[in-house]
Amino acid sequence: MAPAWNRRPGHSMALAPGDNATLFSAGAASTLRLIVYLAAAVVLMILDHRGHYLQAVRGHASLLIEPLYRLAALPADAARATRTAVASQTALAAENRELREALLLAQARLNRAGALAAQNERLQDLLEAQKSLGLSVQMASLLDIDIDPARRRIVINRGAQQGVSVGQPVIDASGIMGQVVEVLPNTAVVMLLTDPNHAIPVTIERTGLRTIAYGDKDARDLLELANIPTSADVKVGDKLISSGLGGRFPAGFPVGEIRDVRNDDTGMFATALATPAAAISRSSEVLLLHDLPQPYGPAQPQVDASAPPGTDAAPAEPEPTP
């Protein structure tokens, strides 16, 4: 037979008789081992089924391979825990957001209820003041304020069509607030007592001393009583009421309370500062006084029709005649 490198293609190699014996003996040995393994497995299953001989073996084997099971389950457990944590975090964030919104809404409702209660109390005070006055009054609400720091004026929601006129006194539940200085069809401008251009004749209730209370020039929302003789008995805490002189304001209305008295450099006169009785900076509802006697003295100031609202010249109260 030719060597393997010298064989031509297409010719198969024949096996020697010894090679065939070796191949068949190897196959028989493998088959025999498989039969033995199967028989042993069947015997073990029968013995285990009847006598449970392998239960202890399985228990020990499970203890040995349990760490492997746990190690294999770690990725799945970690993924499940991560999903749970993310879902819980999302749910907590949503719940927290809802709680914050509910808290803000409850706070807004509480504030609104408090504001309504305060407004109701103010209206009750105005109603009681109206009943106690025995005068014809008209209620109005504040619409706007003058932002000029040198002036103290407000705009109310009543005007000429509602019967408002220039010079009409304006009060709140605590005292005089000011007077109307400009009237438009449905609104009016009110100069407050504390405006530097305002003046009102007053009486010190304790002593009966008559004087003039001017708006504070330093824009401190105070009243100033100037050129008071040092011989006059003026003390901190004295009450100021309207004297009725000039006819602009009815007599007897609260105006303010003395808070400071200081002598000038000459020592002959004193200047007093008073806090207004009315809630100048807080009142949102006011009363307009009607059917008052026509004031005597200088005529009411004429309003420049070409001037923008709230820029008219401020009327000053006439000096009272002692």
> What's residue 223's pLDDT?
95
pLDDT at 126: 66
Question: 249-270: per-residue pLDDT in tens?
Answer: 888 889 999 999 998 888 789 9
Give percent of the chain above pLDDT 90. 28
Neighbours of 140 (CB within 10 A): 23
Write down the pLDDT at residue 119: 62
Q: How confident is the model at residue 210 (pLDDT cuts 50, 70, 90)?
A: very high
Segment holding 256, helix H or strand E: strand 254-263
Provide the pLDDT confidence category of residue 219 given band limits of 50, 70 and 90.
Answer: confident
Higher pLDDT residue, 40 or 117?
Answer: 40
Beta bridge pairs of residue 266: none
pLDDT band at 154 (very low <50, low <70, confident <90, very high): very high
Return the higher-pLDDT residue of 91 and 69.
91
pLDDT of residue 158: 93
pLDDT at 127 over 80: no
Give yes or no for residue 318 having a pLDDT over 80.
Answer: no
Q: Per-residue pLDDT tens for 237-247?
A: 999 999 988 88
pTM: 0.56
- The share of the chain scoring above pLDDT 70, in percent, equals 70
pLDDT band at 272 (very low <50, low <70, confident <90, very high): very high
Query: Is the pLDDT score of 321 beyond 60?
Result: no
> Confidence band (pLDDT; 50, 70, 90) for 32?
confident
End-to-end C-alpha distance for the chain, whole angstroms: 161
d(CA 157, CA 63): 90
Q: Is the dihedral of CA 182, 188, 193, 196 positive or negative?
A: negative
> Which amino acid, one-letter code, is at 222?
L
**Other residues' Cβ atoms within 10 Å of the Cβ of residue 24:** 10
- Is 180 buried (19+), middle (13-18) or exposed (0-12) by CB count in 10 A? buried
- Name the pLDDT band for 94 (thresholds 50, 70, 90): confident
- How many helical (H) and strand (E) elements, i.e. helices and strands, does the chain have? 2, 12
May I ask the CATH class of domain 137-290?
Answer: mainly beta
Structure confidence at residue 305 as a pLDDT band (50, 70, 90) = very low
Alpha helices in the chain (DSSP H): 17-51, 55-133
In this structure, of 21-30, 166-175, 307-316, the range with the lowest mean pLDDT score is 307-316
Whether the Cβ atoms of residue 183 and residue 166 lie closer than 8 Å to each other:
yes
Average pLDDT over residues 135-156: 87
In the numeric block, the tokens 């004193």 are attached to 270
Mean pLDDT, rounded, of the chain? 77
Rounded average pLDDT over 101-107: 75
pLDDT at residue number 313: 40
- C-alpha distance from residue 71 to each of 63, 64, 67, 74 (Å): 14, 13, 6, 5
Average pLDDT for 27-54:
75
pLDDT(81) > 60: yes
Q: Count of CB atoms within 10 A of residue 261's CB?
A: 18
Is the CB of residue 178 less than 8 Å from the CB of residue 221? no
* CB contact at 8 A, 204 and 238: yes
Q: Which of 97-106, 113-122, 183-192 has the lowest mean pLDDT?
A: 113-122
pLDDT at 97 > cutoff 70: yes
Helix (H, G, I), strand (E, B) or coil at 67: helix
Q: How many residues are present in the chain? A: 322
The tokens describing 54, both together, are: 């392998």
Residue 120 and residue 284 in contact, taking contact as beta carbons nearer than 8 Å:
no
In sequence order, which residues have a C-beta less than 8 Å from that of residue 233 and are 6 or more positions away?
206, 207, 209
Q: What is the mean pLDDT of residues 212-235?
A: 89
* pLDDT band at residue 291 using 50, 70 and 90 as cut-offs: low
Structure tokens at 173: 């539940």
